[in-house]
Amino acid sequence: MDLSTLLFEQKKNYAIVTINRPDKLNALNNTVLTELKQVFSNLSVLDEIRCVIVTGAGAKSFVAGADIAEINKLDVPQAKVFAEFGQSVFSLIEEMNKPVIAAINGFALGGGAELAWSCHIRICSENALFGQPEVDLGLIPGYGGTQRLPRLISSSLAAQLLLTGEKIDAQKALALGLVNNVFKPEELLPKAEELADKISAKPALAVQNILKALSSTRQTGLNEGLAIEALLFSLTCGSDDFHEGTKAFLEKRKAAFKHK
Ligand code: COA
């Protein structure tokens, strides 16, 4: 892949996608979003990649938001296209058929926070800082912040964060369940890789179907979600790995999954 704003690295059975504009604190311009769309679309059909890590280049920032220099030029019709494009990229990530881990290494503001909210698993470094400061620019979030944040924390706190632009640090994000763990900056990527490696070893069809079932919790009511779970459960029982996993348990040995 020919990329100018992202770094892409494949390691064993997982990939690391690094947003690489450190001089602009990895702000999301049109090129970054276009390349994210390209990379995630490609990754979705690569069977050998079973987990993806997203992070930001440099020690200071995950992503400090959408690129304000681009936003500044938008008129009303262009702004709609702009928001819909960013939303489509983050929805692609949220609906990926392989787990996406956000390794949040500093500022996660505006579009950076929205990118984090669209990932399946979030871990961060001690210097992470989260916020939706769009209101201070005379704006509102346009890449899903008003929709995903209230689904992750209380609607009251989401309203306060969106309306005041207040930022929250790593420990507060941990207490709120917005991130699973907080690590020293130098430990963040190794820990993300450890997790990606662990998930990559799990049977791929079961992992994919867990993601589909989780997706249904965002899209449906309980009864419809339970019907989807039952269907996915039955389909998973048709896989070679299901037969191997259950047989290995009964034979008291480690399963040898083939991801089929
Ligand atoms: N869009 C475009 N450029 C951005 C940016 C953004 N969202 N965030 C940071 N940058 C650029 C700065 O303009 C600066 O570029 P320059 O060196 O060419 O002037 C560079 O990144 C470094 O940022 P700077 O502000 O000097 O770093 P800082 O450590 O003093 O402050 C922040 C860091 C994150 C507090 C500050 O950059 C900031 O508030 N950024 C905007 C956050 C925001 O509102 N995001 C939502 C956007 S919708």
Over the stretch 165-208, which tens digit does the pLDDT of each residue have?
999 999 999 999 999 999 999 999 999 999 999 999 999 999 99
55: left (phi over 0), alpha (psi -120 to 50) or beta: beta
Q: What CA–CA distances, in Å, run from 244 to 20, 47, 49, 50? A: 41, 19, 21, 19
Where among 200, 218, 235 does a domain terminate?
A: 200
List the structure tokens of 95: 């609906």
CB of 65 closer than 6 angstroms to any ligand 1 atom = yes
Catalytic residue at 114? yes
CA 29 – ligand 1 centroid, Å: 13
Residue among 19, 25, 107 whose CB has most ligand 1 atoms within 8 A, to mutate? 25
Same domain, 47 and 167: yes
Asked whether the beta carbons of 167 and 133 are under 8 A apart, the reply is yes
Q: Would the pLDDT of 1 be above 80?
A: no
Residue among 19, 24, 70, 90 whose CB has most ligand 1 atoms within 8 A, to mutate? 24
CA 21 – ligand 1 centroid, Å: 11
Mean pLDDT computed over every residue of the chain = 97
Could you tell me what percent of the chain has a pLDDT over 70?
100
* Angle subtended by helix axes 155-164 and 145-152, to nearest 10: 140
Q: Going by DSSP bridges, is the β-strand pair 167-169/129-131 parallel, antiparallel, or unpaired?
A: antiparallel
190 is a domain residue: yes
* Average of per-residue pLDDT across 239-259: 95
Q: Going by DSSP bridges, is the β-strand pair 51-56/167-169 parallel, antiparallel, or unpaired?
A: unpaired
Could you tell me what percent of the chain has a pLDDT over 90?
99
CB of 86 closer than 6 angstroms to any ligand 1 atom = no
List the beta bridge partners of residue 121: 101
- Which amino acid residue places its CA nearest to atom 6 of ligand 1? 67
Catalytic residue at 134? yes
Same domain, 193 and 216: no
9, 95, 126, 134: the catalytic one is: 134
The pLDDT of residue 2 is 87
Same domain, 43 and 97: yes
1 is a domain residue: no
Count: domains in the chain: 2
- Which amino acid residue places its CA nearest to atom 21 of ligand 1? 24
- Domain enclosing residue 63, as ranges: 6-200
Same domain, 245 and 178: no
CB of 107 closer than 6 angstroms to any ligand 1 atom = yes
CB of 25 closer than 6 angstroms to any ligand 1 atom = yes
To which H or E segment does residue 31 belong?
helix 30-44
* CATH code of the domain in which 84 resides: 3.90.226.10
* Backbone CA torsion sign across 211, 216, 222, 224: negative
Same domain, 195 and 210: no
To which H or E segment does residue 130 belong?
strand 129-131
CB of 69 closer than 6 angstroms to any ligand 1 atom = yes
259 is a domain residue: no
CB of 109 closer than 6 angstroms to any ligand 1 atom = yes
255 is a domain residue: no
